[in-house]
Structure 1
């Protein structure tokens, strides 16, 4: 992650995008490093949010393209589990996308929303809001942490 931080704002965008895919990366580290190095906070928040949102939407797109057999075979998820998730999507709809920023479950949520063809505009809006709030909160934690030093 430090290598991406050396790339500055481009590194932040790349790490944010990749962190929203199945790759186990932490864009928060890059964001904190850039904040510590006095990069413009608003620019950092915008790039991190857009990068992470685009990464999440790419996971949504992969879900949109997926087929039942592919999911069951390569992800080893039983059809019953998929149907259970479908019930939750039917109940909560695109609002679920707000939680795509969460570790571990966020990526499968985005893929599932795409798989079940949930309204792309609403998913996009909710996902963007969730990811934006996450980065604003992280920036606040970073500033608070640096104030203690």
Structure 2
């Protein structure tokens, strides 16, 4: 078993950045480390932690975003914001169960911050969604791919 810290830190950073506007593809790093024989439970825990932490950064950024709504460069007008707020009031918390979906999930975590979702509710929902995704990826890898 490899005891070097760099692969674990690489997975952590990749998972974190994958949940933010930074580029990242944690699935590739996760799969490569799994294929090399790293502990699947540790892979799951580190990838999930990194990805949820990145989503928390999105939530915080969203919570700060309205401070700039009076600026000319602000990308959303008052009507669009009201529409998003109505949509969020209807689907808000449940929508975070889709936070694992590529392209769609990251904006959902930002919107949750904009709409001032309580962090104590945000974290478990995102943890469930993202942790389930990584667990499924590792399970599929174990069932479908030959190990190196």
TM bucket (normalised to shorter chain) is: 0.7 to 0.9
Cα–Cα, structure 1 residues 85 and 71, in superposed 2: closer, same or farther, change >3 Å? Answer: farther
Structure 2 match to 1:116: 115
Instruction: Report whether the alignment pairs 1:13 with 2:12.
Output: yes
Structure with the greater alpha carbon radius of gyration: 2
Name the stretch that deviates more: 97-106 or 32-41: 97-106
Structure 1 match to 2:105: 106
Is the contact made by 2:37 and 2:147 (CA closer than 8 Å) also made in structure 1?
Answer: no
Alignment deviations for residues 27-66 of structure 1 (CA, whole Å, 9 cap, x no partner): 0000000000000000000000010000001100000111
Gaps (5+ residues) in structure 2? none
Q: What's the secondary structure of 2:145's corresponding residue? A: helix
Q: CA deviation at 1:105?
A: 1.4
Higher helix proportion: 1
Q: May I ask how many residue pairs the two structures share in their alignment?
A: 143
TM-score (norm 1): 0.86
Q: State the alpha-carbon separation in 1 of the partners of residues 83 and 144 from structure 2.
A: 41
Gaps (5+ residues) in structure 1? 1-5
Is the contact made by 1:94 and 1:119 (CA closer than 8 Å) also made in structure 2?
Answer: no
Is the contact made by 2:35 and 2:147 (CA closer than 8 Å) also made in structure 1?
Answer: no
The structure 1 segments of at least 4 consecutive aligned residues displaced by more than 3 Å after TM superposition are none
- Aligned CA RMSD, in angstroms, stands at 2.2
Highest RCO, 1 vs 2 (Cα 8 Å, sep ≥ 6): 2
Structure 1 match to 2:73: 73
TM-score (norm 2): 0.86
Q: CA deviation at 1:146?
A: 1.2
